Amino acid sequence: GGIQSGELPYQVSLQDATEDYDYGIGTGHFCSGAVISLRTVLTAAHCLVETSVFPPYIRSPSNINVVMGITNLYIPTSVTIGFSVSAFVYNTDFNTFNYNNDIAMLLINGEIPMGDFAIYPISMPTSSIPVNSSCTVSGWGATYQNGPNTQYLMSSTVPIVSSESCSQAYNESLPSGVICAGYFTQPAIPVDSCQGDSGGPLVFNNTLYGIVSWGEGCGVQGFPGIYTDVLYFQNWINATNNTLWNKAS
């Protein structure tokens, strides 16, 4: 359903700066991310680097805007802030074919004002999330397979699926570093993340457990969505966050 301003203060839109030179006019939206500190944003590696297409496509930090405090992609408000990107780091083990280790971090060119109610970092997990926990996944992605992005930030509630059932569903052994969430039996109007939601947050209890990564289509019966496991990458996240903060001017 539609999200009110300030409801998901960690949610950001990553926009192609060559299209959206003035922050927040959302046609350049290509992925989401989550604010994890006053200077850093977590996203999916496949949002930044795609070498399984020809020609290979690796974004340049200078061509990315991070738009925060926005719900209607086409209408920035008084709480909307846009930042350019000074640098990004993606996991060197990111596999562009199977999307293993699909995690990356951006350093924004500036600092989010402390005490901003509309833009606020999300907490990191300290223990694994129990199966069946009802998570919130949010974004401006398609509301059905091959559909267009949405203008309004939307969210869905999806339960955590055990890695055993998820591996069975996909008929392959899923790697360490992913968690699954979604429905084996979909409601009449299917509930899932989809294209355009990539890099976005999977949240439970005000804690970031997952990053939208991939799945078999969207809302397909029997195929939960696959998310990067944020807990699994805690050491990488802490190390990368330190590296990026040390680069900040």
Between CA 50 and CA 59, with CA 54 as vertex, the angle to 5 degrees is 35
Question: Per CB under 6 A, does 149 bind ligand 4AZ?
Answer: no
Q: Tell me the C-alpha distance between 156 and 220, whole Å.
A: 15
Please give the C-alpha separations between residue 93 and each of 90, 102, 143, 162, in angstroms, as whole numbers: 9, 8, 31, 24
Q: Please tell me whether residue 65 binds ligand 4AZ under the rule CB under 6 A.
A: no
Question: CB-wise, 40 or 195, nearer to ligand 4AZ?
Answer: 195
User: Has 46 been annotated as catalytic?
Assistant: yes
72 contacts ligand 4AZ (rule: CB under 6 A): no
Q: Are 191 and 157 in contact (CB under 8 A)?
A: yes
The verdict on whether 102 is a catalytic residue reads: yes
Nearer Cβ to ligand 4AZ (20/192): 192
Rounded to 5 degrees, what are φ and ψ at 240?
-70, -40
Site for ligand 4AZ in 208-247 (CB under 6 A): 212, 214-215, 218, 225
Among 193, 207, 228, 241, binds ligand 4AZ (CB under 6 A): 193
Minimum distance of ligand 4AZ from residue 189's CB (angstroms): 15
* Strands (E) located in 116-206: 134-139, 154-161, 178-181, 201-204
Active centre residues (catalytic): 46, 102, 198
Binding footprint of ligand 4AZ on the chain (CB under 6 A): 192-195, 197-198, 212, 214-215, 218, 225
